[in-house]
Amino acid sequence: MLTLSVNCPKCKKTLNVPTASAGATGSCPQCKHRVTVPPLEPVATQRQVATHSNQRPCKTISSGSATALPWLTAGLALIAVVLSIASLSSSFRSRPASLEGLDSSDVVTQLDAMKQIVDSHNQQLAGYKTIVKSNDSRIESFTNRLNALELQLGEIASNTSPQPAGDVEKLRADFESFRRFITYLRQTGAIASTRKTAVLDLATRNYVCVDVEQGTLLVSCQDAEPYLDGVRLRLHIGNPMAVDFSEYAVKLRWGNRFKGAYDDTASYVKWHDSLEEKSFSQTGTLKFAAWNVCTIVLPDTNPEDLGFLEAEVDVNTVSLSRNYPDEKQ
């Protein structure tokens, strides 16, 4: 959205207003001084909706329809993420869970195949980051529109002639709606830009990628059953790298599933603060090119209240073989 920068002659505040307001007069939201926007010949702009490579291109829409554009883009990105994870999960389940009994050439072949899957996922992640970057530009557009609404509200407040109450309330409702939507876009953008933590699917047992300093691990929750006063989890941690990891820790965050709207900031923060969080140190070894079983007990947890599970893995020690398997001592 094209904007004009106008300085208030009284308080010197810089106001960003849309080009459609050129020639209009309004009140400064800070000092209420009357500000006249310099006239400017309007320039028509259009914006092309970003689409996923597997979706039919959308029609070109004008900037006046930008209200629906971020919702459409966020929806396409979410569908693409779900399809990508489902495809990778199916591909990985078709591979052997362990490489015991294979010779060195078979191990290298299986390891290369696993790396190709991770590389493919990284390429798709780069595409999703491009969509998030596009959403950032739309956030800036919404911010400019908020500034224009502030200018209009100031004009209405300082105007001596009576204004219909319905128009004022509508402007205030639009203003608050834009603010909530910007908060929602920032939250979803922050989730999409990192893989250090990942939400585990307790229903489908699909794996998710979790980044560590040395590379990427694959984590899935295979089982969750009542145990004493808590819940016992059986996690599978896949190590597609060519090294072993020992003395690792699994940090979990768990609780009820969030049932509100993600643009309701107050409800989301309250739910997030109610989650339990604990780090579980493990003495086992994450063998390379294999799925490794990790058992963890969540204390004081009702199985019926376990609807959300987020995992993070921290590795401390890397182990490498001293000799190749076919090398003589």
**CA distances (Å), origin 318, targets 46, 78, 134:** 53, 35, 38
Mean pLDDT over 80-93 rounds to 57
Amino acid 291: pLDDT: 95
Lowest mean pLDDT among 109-118, 280-289, 317-326: 317-326
Is a pLDDT exceeding 90 seen at residue 300? yes
Q: At 181, is the pLDDT very low, low, confident or very high (cuts 50, 70, 90)?
A: low
Residues in the chain: 329
Identity (one letter) of the amino acid at 191?
Answer: I
Is a pLDDT exceeding 80 seen at residue 299? yes
Mean pLDDT over 317-322 rounds to 79
Tokens of 164: 């219909």
Q: At 216, is the pLDDT very low, low, confident or very high (cuts 50, 70, 90)?
A: very high
Amino acid 219: pLDDT: 95
| Stated pTM of the model | 0.43
Is a pLDDT exceeding 70 seen at residue 328? no
User: Residue 185: helix, strand or coil by DSSP?
Assistant: helix
- Other C-beta atoms within 10 Å of 74: how many? 19
* Dist. CA 97–CA 207, nearest whole Å: 13
Give the CATH number of domain 198-319. Answer: 2.60.40.1620
- Side-by-side strand order, sheet with 215-227: 208-212, 215-227, 230-239, 290-298
pLDDT in tens, 43-73: 444 333 333 434 444 444 444 444 445 555 5
Q: Comparing 139 with 194, which gets the higher pLDDT?
A: 139
Average pLDDT of the chain is 75
Is a pLDDT exceeding 80 seen at residue 4? no
- Look at residues 7, 5, 3, 38 and name the one whose alpha carbon lies nearest to residue 18: 3
- Other C-beta atoms within 10 Å of 250: how many? 20
Is a pLDDT exceeding 60 seen at residue 202? yes
Q: At 192, is the pLDDT very low, low, confident or very high (cuts 50, 70, 90)?
A: very low
What are the beta bridge partners of residue 225? 232
Amino acid 103: pLDDT: 58
Q: At 182, is the pLDDT very low, low, confident or very high (cuts 50, 70, 90)?
A: low
- Other C-beta atoms within 10 Å of 213: how many? 8
- Look at residues 47, 46, 45, 42 and name the one whose alpha carbon lies nearest to residue 20: 42
DSSP, res 328:
-
Is a pLDDT exceeding 60 seen at residue 91? no
What angle in degrees, to the nearest 10, is found between the helix axes of 104-158 and 165-192?
A: 160
Tokens of 249: 């820790």
Contact by Cβ (8 Å): 29, 7: no
- Look at residues 133, 130, 128, 310 and name the one whose alpha carbon lies nearest to residue 210: 310
Is a pLDDT exceeding 60 seen at residue 233? yes
Q: How far is CA 195 from the centre of its chain?
A: 9
Q: Comparing 305 with 16, which gets the higher pLDDT?
A: 305
Is a pLDDT exceeding 70 seen at residue 275? yes
* Residue extent(s) of CATH 2.60.40.1620 domains in the chain: 198-319
Mean pLDDT over 239-261 rounds to 90
Q: Comparing 233 with 201, which gets the higher pLDDT?
A: 233
* Dist. CA 238–CA 209, nearest whole Å: 9
Is a pLDDT exceeding 80 seen at residue 318? yes
User: Residue 61: helix, strand or coil by DSSP?
Assistant: strand
Is a pLDDT exceeding 70 seen at residue 278? yes
Is a pLDDT exceeding 70 seen at residue 289? yes
Tokens of 81: 């993420």
